[in-house]
Structure 1
Amino acid sequence: MTALPPSASADPESSALPAGGLTASMQALLQSQFGGVPRPVATPAPTPPAPEPQTGDEWPLAARTLIDSLIRENIRLKADIKALTEQVALAEHHADHDVLTPTLNRRAFLRDLGRAMGDGRRYGDPACLIYLDLDGFKAINDTYGHAAGDKALIHIAERLNANVREGDSVGRLGGDEFAILLRHADVSVARTKAQKLEAELNITAFEYQGQYLHVGGSFGVRAYEGQASAEEWIAEADAAMFLVKKSSR
């Protein structure tokens, strides 16, 4: 190994690098002693240029993008609300209506009776209940089967709905028993309506497998006169219907 000159290590001033960096002779000496040249000192990266100041044109584009997104979200939410509203309305309809006929079920009809009774107590509004029991329904069921019986019930419900006012209520109480609530009607009006409904059923028939079948009915009328409950009112109208049916035999 070749020793460095004594002056290179003894004098700190002489150990400083030349102003221009390593000379060719010094690089050759290091190459022979250590097999390489020391890596140059890294120079700092250049400073990036300062960003140009924003002119304000970028904001309208961002605002339009945000507004478009909000509009789309609003449309989606409105569609969701509409779908949910329709589902709720359908569920309420199923909860209030008979599973077979286009009438109220017993629960919903009792609710309407309760409201009419409340109006009668508070405001003196008259109301009457017509109770209907079908004649000949059992014979149709026994002869033609339950499908024919179901069609008979639907036919009766449609005829009742077609012959009452919009504010009145038609309900199927069970089996072949129907009831009609006439609001703002006294006994004379209700009896006239019952007679018209009876005549309507007598002159109409429904078709089943190429045959025209007929179902009649017996009607009982009872006015609201302070009955304690809707069930009591129905029982009184049922009793009136039974007297009519018995007298017609």
Structure 2
Amino acid sequence: MHVHLLLHLQWTESMITEIRCAGSFTHGDPSPAPGRRSARLRDCGEEDALADPMTIASGISAAGALVSAWQLRRRALRAEAEIELLQAELAAERHAASHDPLTGLPNRRAFFRLAAALLTDPAGQPLVAVVLDLDNFKQVNDRYGHAAGDQVLVSVAQRLAAFAGPNLVARLGGDEFAGLLASPTADRRWIEHATRRLCEALAAPIPLGARSIQVTASVGLAPVHCPTQLTDALCRADAAMYEAKTLGAARPARQLVAEC
């Protein structure tokens, strides 16, 4: 970038010098003293330029061409800058339309769009729908304030994304999250083990300034067998999540797998 700017600066300086030399033939005293005229011509490197009127005309023409080229160059640079700015604004708008502004995760609309694409991939692995809801999150907002609650949501989103890796996770709204996890098999034991690890990761203390708090989450899962079953699988996972939430301390991991 610096090299480009330096070259552009050198080009501009050279162009200005040429314009000044060419302009010396057309401005100033129409009949300068011989000494002044010779010095001016020497500055431009053409002592015998006045001997040939065509040289003067060529210099003026070249100066005009340089000015035109310089103006075109400036317009092109402005146009390029405007295009880059518009592209950045468009990318930001698209990202904002498909992502949650707080956590940066895909939002509800993006989740269903991306999930549909995953489910139609013929080379894809078996998928499991996951619905996650934080336990007693309202108490966090009431006790520590909404700023602390937002920080908890961001931390949960980061841990969920780290656990999911390349898999799809999203914030559906409030303290509810969803995911679509690829499973080597649709084996119930593998799904339960993965979800237990997720709950344990989410239960780790979350630092809030000088203190830290611990939150738990209830999780429901349901296998997805085909694209048309996504909504049904999410409903079954949601029902399993609420069942796990009602069990409370009876199930420390607070996770249930809906019947396949």
What range is the shorter-chain TM-score in?
Answer: 0.5 to 0.7
Which of the residues 112, 115, 118 maps onto 2:114? 112
Aligned-residue offset at 1:161 = 2.0
Specify the alignment match of 1:67 in structure 2: 69
| Partner SS, residue 106 of structure 2 | coil
Checking the alignment, whether the CA contact within 8 Å between 1:187 and 1:222 is kept in structure 2 is no
Runs of 4+ in structure 1 displaced over 6 angstroms?
none
Specify the alignment match of 1:23 in structure 2: none
Aligned-residue offset at 1:159 = 1.5
Q: 2: CA distance between counterparts of 1:153 and 1:162?
A: 14
Specify the alignment match of 2:92 in structure 1: 90
Specify the alignment match of 1:162 in structure 2: 162
| Partner SS, residue 203 of structure 1 | coil
Specify the alignment match of 1:39 in structure 2: none
Specify the alignment match of 2:198 in structure 1: 197
Specify the alignment match of 1:26 in structure 2: none
Aligned-residue offset at 1:88 = 0.8
Q: 2: CA distance between counterparts of 1:101 and 1:73?
A: 40
Aligned-residue offset at 1:84 = 0.6
Q: 2: CA distance between counterparts of 1:176 and 1:185?
A: 29
Aligned-residue offset at 1:64 = 2.2
Checking the alignment, whether the CA contact within 8 Å between 1:134 and 1:215 is kept in structure 2 is yes
What is the 5 A alignment of 1:146-225?
Answer: 146-165=146-165, 167-183=166-182, 186-188=185-187, 190-207=191-208, 210-225=210-225
Give the number of the structure whose alpha-carbon radius of gyration is greater. 1
Checking the alignment, whether the CA contact within 8 Å between 1:155 and 1:206 is kept in structure 2 is no
Equivalent residues, number: 194
CA root-mean-square deviation: 2.6
Instruction: Return the TM-score normalized by structure 2.
Output: 0.65
Q: 1:191 to 1:68 in 2, by over 3 A?
A: farther
Aligned-residue offset at 1:116 = 1.6
Q: 2: CA distance between counterparts of 1:139 and 1:124?
A: 40
User: Is the counterpart of residue 143 in structure 1 residue 147 in structure 2?
Assistant: no
Q: 1: CA distance between counterparts of 2:236 and 2:215?
A: 24
Residues 56-87 of structure 1 deviation map (CA, whole Å, 9 limit, x = unaligned): 44443333222222221111111001111111
Letter in 2 for 1:91: E
Q: 1: CA distance between counterparts of 2:124 and 2:159?
A: 30
Specify the alignment match of 1:46 in structure 2: none
| Partner SS, residue 163 of structure 1 | helix
Q: 1:53 to 1:205 in 2, by over 3 A?
A: closer
Aligned-residue offset at 1:222 = 1.9
| Partner SS, residue 103 of structure 1 | coil
Moved more, 218-227 or 140-149: 140-149
Residues 87-116 of structure 1 deviation map (CA, whole Å, 9 limit, x = unaligned): 111111111111322212111111111212
Q: 1: CA distance between counterparts of 2:79 and 2:183?
A: 43
Aligned-residue offset at 1:183 = 4.2
Checking the alignment, whether the CA contact within 8 Å between 1:125 and 1:184 is kept in structure 2 is yes
Higher relative contact order, chain-length normalized (CA < 8 Å, sep 6+) = 1
